[in-house]
Chain A
């Protein structure tokens, strides 16, 4: 089974990397970019076929390691 955990900064947390990318996009002349927030994506292969168990395990993984919940939110998707 394939799964994806997406980690993003909470709103209000300063994202200097996103700001730098935003500036670079502007200097490339790419129009219409209002703002950029940088995050992380983890593509994870899960053994077995129990989607509910996989989702629970990945939430545990995100809470314990993949995300720092002081500054980050995460989303777990178990892909069909």
Chain B
């Protein structure tokens, strides 16, 4: 799996992401600067990592979403390429128009940095095939603006088309307001575009991939992508 990790000023999770990608795919990802206008030839997966691109100025992800490299990412996605956005990367994908909706301030107004539980909605996506439907995974979050909202029609489509891949849940997999720590609509944690090749989520699966991190629940997301690309090849 040949991956490209985008680097914007103010991004700070790109090295965690690169380490996880190398660990699981065996291949060192290319680090691609925001002002570049092309992705490396043969890229299989573009990853937009977490952090605080442009200091969250204007709106989270707003300025990065319009960076020169994003035109190349839009073209890559239009050609069916896989795009993964994590945390600020999810916000950037929403702001760039690659994903619908927007991430607004957490309902409780607090920056939340802790482990949360996610329920895998189904495993029929490159971004979930490393897990079983209904599986519960534990991964860290660290964000102040992770409260996903969109207009009613968009939410109806996301739900109806199986584009909500992960939801915030209890350790037993119960989805209720108590475990929806940031107030996201329908406890939505991660969604895909209509073609299913662009995916964004708020938590950091890349931070639970090695025993030394305490958990390895995040590995499935990356190993699923590796598996998907192997079968597609």
List residues of chain A with CB under 8 Å of any chain B CB: 13-14, 16-17, 20, 64-66, 68, 70-71
Contacts and interface: CB of A to CB of B under 8 A. Distances in A.
A14 B62 contact: no
B224 to A, nearest CB: 29
Given A65-B58, A70-B101, A71-B149, A14 B66 contact: no
Contacts of B35: none
Main secondary structure of the interface of B (DSSP, over half): loop
A52 to B, nearest CB: 25
Interface of B: 58-59, 62-63, 66, 95, 100-102, 104-107, 109, 147, 149-151, 183
A20 B62 CA distance: 24
Nearest to B110: A16
A42 to B, nearest CB: 10
A14 B147 CA distance: 10
A76 B111 CA distance: 33
A38 to B, nearest CB: 10
In the A-B complex, the 5 residue pairs with the closest CB atoms: A70-B102, A16-B105, A16-B109, A71-B102, A68-B102
A70 B62 CA distance: 13
Given A14-B149, A64-B66, A68-B95, A20 B109 contact: yes
Main secondary structure of the interface of A (DSSP, over half): helix
Given A14-B104, A68-B59, 11 more contacts: A14-B147, A16-B104, A16-B109, A17-B105, A17-B109, A65-B58, A65-B62, A65-B66, A70-B101, A70-B149, A70-B150
Contacts of A71: 102, 104, 149
A20 B110 CA distance: 12
Nearest to B108: A16
A67 to B, nearest CB: 9
Contacts of B106: 16
